[in-house]
Amino acid sequence: MDNVLIALGASLLTVVVGMTVTAIRIRQLDKAAVVDVTWGAGFVLVAVVSAVIATTRDDGDVLHAWLLVVLVAVWGGRLAWHVRSRALGDHAGKEDPRYAEMLGGSVSEVGIGTVVRRVLLVQGVVQWFIAIPVAVGTFFMVEIWPVVLAGVVVWGIGMFFETVGDRQLAAYKKIPKDQRPQVMETGLWAWTRHPNYFGDATVWWGLWLVGGLGSGWVIGLATVLSPLAMTYFIRNVTGAKLLEKTMMQRPGFPEYAERVPLFFPRPPRRA
């Protein structure tokens, strides 16, 4: 029980520090989208801090702890790097439409206090809750190695969907507008309308298997709400469905949406 309390407390403090630094940067750039970088990087920080504390204790499992760090670092580092240009680029003050709608204006208009209440506090709590299988898992020995290995495979599938989906979309955007199709619907985008979001959720189910269920049935059951929350938020709240409010206004997208599922992939259907 002591290990669990230490893990929860250390991860909470780490998230608070990360969001405080983010608030300072948001105020400097007048751009709430900075938090998108913190979303990926913050999980990496939680994993590293948890592993350092866990492995200094006599009962810590070094291999298990640093396996979790590596998996989280690959995912979170790639994600933070991928969104950095949009969030930290030369477009200071040009807010992401999602955050502009959420805040009711720019950061300078609504004030940093509103950003903290509506964005940072919410995302901080969600980040801490989702990270629980990683934070707690670093403090426990592996009890079910086949589950850990299965988790690495699931994590790999999620990374494939997220990484390849992002690359395919980037290649599509490089095509001149007058030459490219109205909607990206090839590759993984023919299987799901949001392969990157689906990949995100799948990664965290893999991390739950490695850090949660791999540590035993009790830890697994106690932490299963974390990947469920990740899947719910990324599909219904901050990810796929929120983005589609604007995407549905684009020519050709409603027809594309009739053929391709929102989130969970399935083989492509003919037009």
Q: Which pTM was predicted?
A: 0.90
103 & 4 share domain: yes
The span from the CA of 211 to the CA of 223, in Å, is 9
2 & 23 share domain: yes
116 & 240 share domain: no
| Count of domains forming the chain | 2
31 & 103 share domain: yes
Domain boundary among 140, 156, 176: 140
Which helix or strand (DSSP H or E) is residue 176 part of? Answer: none
109 & 160 share domain: no
Other CB atoms closer than 10 Å to residue 252's CB: what's the count?
11
150 & 261 share domain: yes
Domain boundary among 93, 120, 140: 140
The span from the CA of 25 to the CA of 126, in Å, is 20
Domain boundary among 124, 140, 156: 140
The residue range of the domain holding 182 is 142-271
Decide: helix, strand or coil at residue 103. helix
219 & 117 share domain: no
- The tens-digit pLDDT sequence of the chain (271 residues) is 677 888 899 999 999 999 999 999 998 888 888 998 999 999 999 999 999 999 887 666 899 999 999 999 999 999 999 888 777 765 445 777 778 777 887 788 888 888 898 889 999 999 999 999 999 999 999 999 999 999 999 999 999 999 999 999 999 989 888 888 888 888 999 999 999 999 999 999 999 999 999 999 999 999 999 999 999 989 988 788 888 888 888 888 888 888 999 999 998 876 5
268 & 158 share domain: yes
200 & 262 share domain: yes
